[in-house]
């Protein structure tokens, strides 16, 4: 199991902009993405025997300021 996956932030930003311009990204997608992000963090912590992480808020998630 991979603990960390490194993704090029520039590629992520470009992909996000492409999706927005194509009107492929909706508000509901952001909400679902946050739920999945929090769940993945919980499952990873459980698998590694670590304490449950604090749930990330939408503001932290969008700003990218969540402790990961």
Cβ atoms of 53 and 41 closer than 8 Å: yes
Closest CA to 31 of 68, 62, 67: 62
| Tens-place pLDDT, residues 1-59 | 556 666 677 777 787 777 777 776 676 777 888 888 888 888 888 888 999 999 988 88
pLDDT of 60 over the 80 cut: yes
Per-residue pLDDT, 51: 94
- Unique residue bearing structure tokens 């300021």: 65
Per-residue pLDDT, 53: 92
Please state, in angstroms and as integers, the Cα–Cα distance from residue 9 to each residue in 14, 24, 29, 31, 46, following that order: 9, 20, 19, 21, 27
6-10 LR contacts (CB < 8 Å, sep 24+): none
């Amino acid at each position: 199991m991979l603990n960390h996956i490194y993704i090029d932030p520039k590629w992520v930003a470009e992909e996000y902009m492409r999706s927005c311009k194509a009107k492929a990204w909706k508000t509901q997608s952001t909400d679902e993405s946050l739920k999945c992000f929090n769940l993945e963090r919980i499952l990873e912590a459980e698998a590694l025997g670590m304490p449950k992480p604090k749930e990330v808020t939408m503001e932290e998630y969008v700003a990218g300021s969540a402790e990961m």
